[in-house]
């Protein structure tokens, strides 16, 4: 079956609001390493990794073997009403890696569900339905996570179970504070936070939710240290800090294992998902014990942390640490960013190249530095035609997102740069 026929069947039974890339969408039919092959037999270098989910690449023997070993037991699922050895082992590893004191872990199936859980914990612990969020943020597609998503293109409803107040800081390129020095930018954003708390809340705010690097928002980030400065203000009011590490976790930013590490602060809770399962559905929350244990009603997760997902996640985490993929992300991320900035020097369509590690954004602009979404679409399509898969995002839909598997090689980075240079 070709792509056209599959697309027609997709449109007949799937919602109109499900986004698809490309004028002629493709099916990923097989994959190995950092390359994927579509349903019509064409192979591509993948620099988006299933939206950062295939963190260590495709067809990794150690992960596949672990999954097969679990399948051989006959136990794919048992629910959290029973002890799950691999779930406990994974929770122990994540609690230790988090740096959060007295940390406890709850597993979910996605980043959306993880952020919903974190919001429930924070609002219950603080007995408040008030939440601080950043403009240009994205935290998921469920009811509460849409409410704290500061990007109209991804906000399906204005209805909300929480009261949200919006703070400046995450998207520097088009911020009113853009031209300030790093230090003055941080001061201006902290002053904005204080004013928002004083004027747009009743004071007893439950939490602030931040992405260390805004993912859907176009891989944008503030200067290092901003969220540490925010935490000082939050602590004055007893407000919890939640770091959404769904895209920034597991060493992808290169310099730190968790994205929040760039800000010199330990959050009260972190959410995670995507890369941990290397394609398996898994997410979760790691939080201070008193926050995690604040619920008084019974709860469970039917599928969250199931034996198959946690076994695969343990193998993925082992591979990531054993091969020091964080260092690879730092080294090759620098090479990718430097190469893109060189390309951008004589291309006025590139307004900004930004990112850390293997999370790199290229913002495309028109005359007067206005956002140019059409150019981003053209780059997305042109890269695919030349055998490279990239992502797209940003508040205005004008940012190309690059996030290859963390096992990417020097030759593959150069191949991607050559392709992007030709397309741009």
Residue 8 shares a structural domain with residue 149: no
> Does residue 46 sit in the same domain as residue 90?
no
Q: Is 331 contained in some domain?
A: no
Question: What span, in angstroms and rounded, lies between the C-alpha atoms of 264 and 301?
Answer: 33
CB-based contact 110:273 (threshold 8 Å): yes
Rounded CA-CA distance 19/72 in Å is 36
The verdict on residue 61 lying in a domain is no
Same domain, 195 and 275: yes
330 within some domain? no
How many folded domains does the chain comprise?
A: 2
Tell me, yes or no, whether 255 and 121 share the same domain. yes
pLDDT value, residue 1: 79
Which of 289, 322, 355 is the last residue before a domain boundary? 322
What is the reported pLDDT for 21? 97
What CATH number has the domain bearing residue 198?
Answer: 3.40.640.10
Q: Please tell me whether residues 205 and 309 are part of one structural domain.
A: yes
Order of strands, sheet of 207-210, starting from the edge strand that comes earlier in the sequence? 103-108, 283-288, 269-272, 240-244, 207-210, 130-134, 163-167
Read off φ and ψ for residue 112, nearest 5 degrees: -55, -50
Distance in angstroms (rounded) separating the CA atoms of residues 309 and 292: 22
Positions of the chain with pLDDT lower than 70, given as ranges: none
Give the chain's end-to-end CA distance (angstroms, integer): 33
CA 424 – CA 347 distance, rounded (Å) = 8
Torsion of CA 125, 100, 243, 296, to 10 degrees: -20
> Over the stretch 208-247, which tens digit does the pLDDT of each residue have?
999 999 999 999 999 999 999 999 999 999 999 999 999 9
Q: What pLDDT shows up at residue 98?
A: 98
Clarify whether residues 95 and 113 are in a common domain: yes
Strand partners, 131: 164, 207
For residues 225, 231, 232, 233, the Cα torsion angle rounded to the nearest 10 degrees is 120
150 and 173 within one domain: yes
In a domain, 397, yes or no: yes
| End position of a domain, from candidates 274, 295, 322 | 322
Structural domain boundaries, residue 355: 3-56+340-423
Q: How far apart are CA 347 and CA 83, in angstroms?
A: 57
Per-residue exposure over 127-156, b if at least 16 CB sit within 10 Å of its own CB, e if not: ebbbbbbbbbbbbbeebbbbbbbbbeebee
Do 282 and 406 sit in the same domain of this protein? no
> Number of C-alpha atoms within 13 angstroms, CB side, residue 117?
28
The reply to whether 15 and 95 lie within a common domain is no
Q: Are 313 and 356 within one domain?
A: no
Q: Is residue 332 part of a domain?
A: no
Q: Are residues 174 and 294 in the same domain?
A: yes
329 in a domain, yes or no? no
Tell me, letter by letter, the H, E, C secondary structure of the chain: CCHHHHHHHHHHHCCCCCCCCCCCCCCEEEEEECEEEECCCCEEEECCHHHHCCCCCECCHHHHHHHHHHHHCCCCCCCCCCCCHHHHHHHHHHHHHHCCCCEEEEEECCHHHHHHHHHHHHHHHHCCCEEEEECCCCCCCCHHHHHCCCCHHHCCCCCCCCEEEEECCCCCCCCCCCCCCHHHHHHHHHHHHHHHHHHHCCCCCCEEEECCCECCCCCECCCCCHHHHHHHHHHHHCCEEEEECCCCCCCCCCCCCCHHHHHCCCCCEEEECHHHHECECCEEEEEEHHHHCCCCCCCCCCCCCCHHHHHHHHHHHHHHHHCCHHHHHHHHHHHHHHHHHHHHCCCCCEEEEEEECCEEEEEEECHHHCECHHHHHHHHHHHHHCCEECEEECCCCCEEEECCCCCCCHHHHHHHHHHHHHHC
Residue 303 domain-assigned? yes
Q: Is residue 126 part of a domain?
A: yes
Which of 322, 352, 384 corresponds to the end of one domain? 322
Residue 189: both structure tokens together: 């954003």
Supply the DSSP string of 284-342, one letter for each residue.
EEEEEHHHHTT--S----SSTT-HHHHHHHHHHHHHHHHTTHHHHHHHHHHHHHHHHHH
Give tens-digit pLDDT for 162-189: 999 999 999 999 999 999 999 999 999 9
Task: Round to whole Å and give the CA distance between 10 and 8.
Answer: 5
Q: Each residue of 249-273: pLDDT tens digit?
A: 999 999 999 999 999 999 999 999 9
CATH number (domain holding residue 382): 3.90.1150.10
Whether the CA torsion 54, 56, 58, 59 is positive or negative: it is: negative
Q: Give this prediction's pTM.
A: 0.97
The verdict on 153 and 215 lying in the same domain is: yes
Here the tokens at position 291 are 């926050």
Closest by CA to 338, choosing from 323, 350, 353, 319, is 353
């Amino acid at each position: 079956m070709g792509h056209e026929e599959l697309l027609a069947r997709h449109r007949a039974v799937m919602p109109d609001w499900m986004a698809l890339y490309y004028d002629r969408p493709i099916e990923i039919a097989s994959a190995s390493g950092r390359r994927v092959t579509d349903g019509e037999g064409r192979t591509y270098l993948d620099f988006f990794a299933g939206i950062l989910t295939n963190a260590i690449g495709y067809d990794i023997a150690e992960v596949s073997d672990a999954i097969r070993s679990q399948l051989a037991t006959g136990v794919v699922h048992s629910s959290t009403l029973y002890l799950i050895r691999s779930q406990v082992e994974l929770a122990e590893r994540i609690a230790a890696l988090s740096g959060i004191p007295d940390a406890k872990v709850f597993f979910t199936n996605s980043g959306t569900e993880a952020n919903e859980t974190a919001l429930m914990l924070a609002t219950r612990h603080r007995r408040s339905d008030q939440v601080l969020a950043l403009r240009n943020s994205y935290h998921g597609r469920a009811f509460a996570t849409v409410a704290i998503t500061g990007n109209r293109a991804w906000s399906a409803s204005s209805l909300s179970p929480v009261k949200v107040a919006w703070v400046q800081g995450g998207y520097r390129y088009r911020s009113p504070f853009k031209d300030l020095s790093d230090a003055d930018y941080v001061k201006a954003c902290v002053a904005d936070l204080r004013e928002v708390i004083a004027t747009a809340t009743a004071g007893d705010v439950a939490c602030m939710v931040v992405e260390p690097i805004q993912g859907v928002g176009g891989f944008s980030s503030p200067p290092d240290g901003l969220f540490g400065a925010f935490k000082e203000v939050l602590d004055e009011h007893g407000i919890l800090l939640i770091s959404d590490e769904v895209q920034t976790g597991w060493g992808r930013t290169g310099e730190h294992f968790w994205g929040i590490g760039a800000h010199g602060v330990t959050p009260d809770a972190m959410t995670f998902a995507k890369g941990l399962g290397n394609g398996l559905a898994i997410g979760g929350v790691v939080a201070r014990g008193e926050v995690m244990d604040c619920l008084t009603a019974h709860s469970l997760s039917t599928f969250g942390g199931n034996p198959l997902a946690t076994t695969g996640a343990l193998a993925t985490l082992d591979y990531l640490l054993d091969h020091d993929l964080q260092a690879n992300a730092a080294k090759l991320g620098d090479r990718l960013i430097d190469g893109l900035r060189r390309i951008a020097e004589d291309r006025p369509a590139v307004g900004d190249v930004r990112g850390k590690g293997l999370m790199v954004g290229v913002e495309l602009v028109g005359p007067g530095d206005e956002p140019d979404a059409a150019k981003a679409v053209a780059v997305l399509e042109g890269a695919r035609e030349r055998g490279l898969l990239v992502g797209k995002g940003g508040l205005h839909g004008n940012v190309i997102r690059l996030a290859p598997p963390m096992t990417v090689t020097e030759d593959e980075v150069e191949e991607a740069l050559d392709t992007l240079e030709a397309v741009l």
